[in-house]
Chain A
Amino acid sequence: MSREQKAVDRARKAFLTGRSKSLEYRVTQLKNLLRFVRERQSEIAEGLKKDLGRSEGGTPLYETLGLESEINLAVKYLKEWAAPRPVSKSMMTISDQVYIQPEPLGVALVIGAWNYPWAVTVGPLIGAIAAGNAAVIKPSEVSSHTSKVMEDLLPLYLDKELYPVVTGGVTETQELLKQRFDHIFYTGNGTVAKIIMEAAAKHLTPTTLELGGKSPCYIDNNCDLAIACRRIAWGKYSNCGQTCIAPDYILCDPSMQDRVIEEIKKNIKEFYTEDPKKCLDYGRIINQRHFKRLMALLEGSTIAVGGENDESECYIGPTVLRDVKPDAKVMQEEIFGPLLPILTVSGADEAIKFINQREKPLALYIFTSDNKLIKRMIAETSSGGVVANDCLMHFSVSSLPFGGVGHSGMGQYHGKYGFDNLSHLRGCLIKQLKMEGVNKMRYPPHTADKLGWARFFILKHVDFGSLGRMALVALMAVFVAVILQRYFTD
């Protein structure tokens, strides 16, 4: 038996003991996870610095604060999320119990990515634990230092049978994908996602795929350009552009281009000083392969800002490209780096057309003071999520489902969605063995009369909610009448 097979087997056996069923157990594990995040900040930060050149402040801001928030949310609301959810009844079920019961699926596989290794590996894990599953955690080998921290330290805090960490590269992942899981949660790129879904199909395993794409950023003439560019610069150059929801490219009117470039240049200087290479808050490209890939994307485009690079450090300075053409190299794939191309379009119509000719992105950004335009752009395009007048922020609103559509992915998570995504929502109908007379209409021999009754009971819609409210109002009216009568006769 391979190491991967053993880990999955052990996780399944541990799941079948039923110990993750109790809410107390899940809360304990979640609280342990919280302790881990808090107690091991320095190890986490150290790993991230080695992998991505992340500054010390970057660790909580981009990774652990979000995790703490999600864990606290899950601990606070777990009882509510896991409780039976009653649904509205019909005339036929008026005396029955009708509800949806969330249940664990079994053993989940969480495959993480390297760009925010904690957020996208532990993030889904929170939902898996809260929903009562076991989970095999496969961190990305590309962020190798972080992967080692996970492998060494997570077992010291979490149930090591229920939540094993399995490290490795392509071979180990392929071995894992041969095993049978009850859900596979993958964050990464579309090419690998297809392979994962194909592997999942062999076991009829549902998948959540958090992928990417080219997230467009439209800047309207009518907007506060200084603030817009500040927010865009932050969203683009955080983590050196290696963010699945980074604004990939800008669409704007030709008349705005120069000002956009000027404003972004200003903000780059403010955030990262005159020499971003020396600035602690500016990261690095993850490895040589991606460095080379990004440098190749510059081909054929005009550099307006930046362009400095140093292969020995995998350093590429914050870069803006101007007058980029749709067929330029940089427009053919998700950039995932600190290159910000600007394409000029004449107005929102052309921008919408441009966006719709391409695959549905993970995020869409619109900068405008015109609310009508925001509504229009949302109505006439599609994307995983959308933020108007800022970047990235929908990721941190835990009551919003985070996920893609089309090539940018399937399934959603964060907050309750993370819980629901990794649960089976079982439809339950509890009847009694009495009132058998009512069932006559469904039994053979079938007659027109019986059918008539069946139609009546099934199709007649009674809004018990509003009936109840009306009854309450009537009761209150009676109270008022009695009070008034007493008052006037006293």
Chain B
Amino acid sequence: MEKQVVDGLREVFQSGRSKPLQYRKQQLRALHRLITERQADIEQALKQDLNRNTYNTSLFELISIENDIKSAERDMADWAAPRSVKKNLNSALDDVYIKPEPLGVVLIIGTWNYPWAMILQPLVGAIAAGNAAVLKPSELSEHSARLVKELLPLYLDKDMYQVVTGGVPETQELLKQRFDHIFYTGSSTVGKLVMEAAARHLTPVTLELGGKSPCYVDKNCDIAVACRRITWGKFANCGQTCIAPDYILCEPSIQDRIVEEIQKTLLEFYQKDPKSSPDYCRIINTRHFDRVLALMNECTIALGGESDCSQCYIAPTVLKDVLPHFKIMQEEIFGPLLPIVTVNGLSEAINFINAREKPLALYVFSSDKTVIKRMLTETSSGGVTVNDVLMHYTIDTLPFGGVGNSGMGRYHGRHTFDQLSHHRACLIKSFAMESLNDARYPPLTAARLSKAKFFTQHRLCSCSGICVWAVIATLLAIGLLVALIVVLI
């Protein structure tokens, strides 16, 4: 079945249907209609999957998708146009440019924590770049998976974009097929299997994985504001966010203050009983519930700790004086437990971070520019937000992705388009000036070689339209300024 799906999509792709930008824009508009017209259904599915409420759904999923659709529609012509490049003397008279082209059939494997954003944001880029796509939503967020399978063919061209649902066997069957790009969001363990399967067909991959995103709180900062932001980022979606601040690193002297501020903020956000707050979510299923609960075992609970397995509910929890060898520090938490590990200053924090795998995100809170500079230059991570959490995700001009164990490739906005395109180098010469080519033809004499050397060594600038206008405008402005000064004096 999976083979038929992929073969069918490839055939339709090869007919050239998705080449015209008009077609792609039309599909994107249809996708926009899907998420606006069926918002209530989507909210209902998410409530059943994760106890997400309506505002959460919009804020964390639909707005990002909408943003990507809008910018793709607005800028597609620019993204898809040939991009001129600098020439050298050899190619001075030629047409030299990079042409973005669709890859073919893209496989998008989603995950369950933000089931709509993780599937549809890559899809926006796949559509904009002119590809066909197979979507494989995560079976763990089963209501969302069922709904996306039902809705997509009602809005989008079902010959170009199909949804395949199922679990491990269906995914394995899909991975046996040949794709032109595989976009996977999920765990590092499965990421390796996806890349291995892709290797058999020489298929390039984008892997958006995870890791333990550290959050360093410097003693020199507005701790109240810092904790407010950290609390928001940690406990949103019940901690099930790939870029949630996984654990805090701070000096022992401020640990108590941090616990106090987080407690204050939790009260404000979720009131006395988070279980009855409409804004507090649930763990996705009992397996993860058990997993997360077990991570608390050796730890000292400073806040929270309550749980209710019948609802997969775990209260917002803060753990203090956590030691590096505890279980909770051995895997990505992906739940509402916030361990605090104390370190004696910035150097120890940096060493701690560097002794571990490169995380997907890094957070540092400080008013001290030198602390920020040191932290950024001496560590590596997928992305970084200073003095806040999660927010680099929302900026579509920043490439979003991991490094090392946290992933490879990047997306959002134009970056998704570029990631799911082939950037074809094009050099258009004419038959004229053949004598210039003598330098390269045998017999290779010394004279010919020095001519060849001359032509390859020197570069020309690319005089694009904007560059010319900028130069003219600047000269004009300076001229006017001078005239103004002369006249006024």
Contact = CB atoms under 8 A, between A and B. Distances in A.
Report the 6 A-B pairs with minimum CB-CB distance, sorted nearest first.
Answer: A57-B444, A446-B55, A197-B199, A427-B398, A201-B195, A281-B442
11 contacts: A60-B453, A87-B398, A379-B19, A385-B427, A386-B426, A386-B427, A397-B85, A401-B98, A402-B425, A406-B180, A410-B202
A464 to B, nearest CB: 11
B199 to A, nearest CB: 4
Contact of A393 (B58, B91, B204, B442): B91
Interface in A276-335: 279-282
Contacts of A476: 476-477, 480
A21 B378 CA distance: 10
A55 B445 CA distance: 11
B297 interface: no
Interface in B373-409: 376-377, 380-388, 391-392, 394-395, 397-400, 403-405, 407-409
B257 to A, nearest CB: 15
Given A61-B444, A433-B367, A479-B480, A426 B85 contact: no
B202 A451 contact: no
A398 B98 CA distance: 12
B384 A428 contact: yes
Contacts of B74: 461
B207 A204 contact: yes
Interface in B419-452: 422-431, 434, 437, 440-446, 448-449, 452
A388 B428 CA distance: 5
A429 B395 contact: yes
A425 B445 contact: no
B222 A433 contact: yes
B348 interface: no
Contacts of A431: 385-388, 391
A68 interface: yes
Contacts of B409: 206
B99 A378 contact: yes
Interface in B63-108: 63-64, 66-67, 70-71, 74, 85-88, 90-91, 96, 98-99, 101, 103-104
Contact of A454 (B63, B228, B384, B388): B63
Interface string A431-448: 111101001001111111
B488 to A, nearest CB: 7
A75 B59 CA distance: 46
A425 B56 CA distance: 30
Contacts of A432: 387
B79 to A, nearest CB: 14
Interface in A129-180: none
A480 B480 contact: yes
Contacts of B443: 57, 271, 279-281
A350 interface: no
A482 interface: yes
Contacts of A280: 443
Contacts of B367: 433
B288 interface: no
B243 to A, nearest CB: 11
A374 B388 CA distance: 51
A400 B387 contact: no
Given A388-B429, A399-B86, A476-B476, A430 B453 contact: no
B323 interface: no
Contacts of A402: 425
Interface stretch (A6-14, A222-230, A258-266): A222-230
A32 interface: no
A382 B59 contact: no
Contacts of B19: 379
Given A87-B398, A429-B386, A430-B372, A399 B427 contact: no
B270 interface: yes
A69 B455 CA distance: 11
B391 A68 contact: no
Nearest to A425: B399
- Interface size class on chain A is 35 or more
Contacts of B226: 433
Contact of B424 (A383, A444, A450): A383
Given A389-B431, A446-B55, A382 B422 contact: yes
Contacts of A379: 19
Contacts of B456: 65-66, 69, 396
B442 A272 contact: yes
Interface in B208-255: 209, 221-222, 225-226, 228-229, 232
Given A57-B444, A476-B480, A426 B55 contact: no
B159 to A, nearest CB: 19
A482 B434 CA distance: 56
B188 interface: yes
B487 interface: yes
Contact of A386 (B88, B207, B408, B424): B424
A228 B431 CA distance: 8
A476 B442 CA distance: 58
Contact of B55 (A88, A433, A448): A448
B429 A382 contact: no
B425 A223 contact: no
B484 interface: yes
B397 to A, nearest CB: 4
A285 B191 CA distance: 41
Contact of A483 (B56, B192, B400, B484): B484
Nearest to B381: A426
Given A89-B397, A388-B428, A400-B96, 20 more contacts: A60-B453, A65-B452, A182-B404, A202-B196, A379-B19, A386-B425, A393-B90, A396-B90, A396-B456, A397-B90, A399-B86, A400-B427, A405-B424, A424-B403, A428-B383, A431-B386, A444-B232, A458-B63, A472-B473, A483-B484
Interface stretch (A97-105, A117-125, A247-255, A338-346): A97-105
A356 B10 CA distance: 13
B476 A234 contact: no
A356 B14 contact: yes
Interface in A441-490: 442-448, 450-451, 454-455, 458-459, 461, 472, 476, 479-480, 482-483, 486-487
B467 interface: no
B365 interface: yes
B424 A429 contact: no
A410 B420 CA distance: 12
Interface in A390-427: 390, 393-394, 396-402, 405-407, 409-412, 424-427
A193 B425 contact: no
A387 B384 contact: no
Contacts of B191: 204
A57 B71 contact: no
B40 interface: no
A256 interface: no
B59 A223 contact: no
Contact of A433 (B98, B225, B377, B394): B225
Contact of A472 (B180, B204, B477): B477
A153 to B, nearest CB: 22
Nearest to A90: B395
A200 interface: yes
B332 interface: no
Nearest to B358: A424
A72 interface: yes
A412 B382 CA distance: 21
A193 B365 CA distance: 44
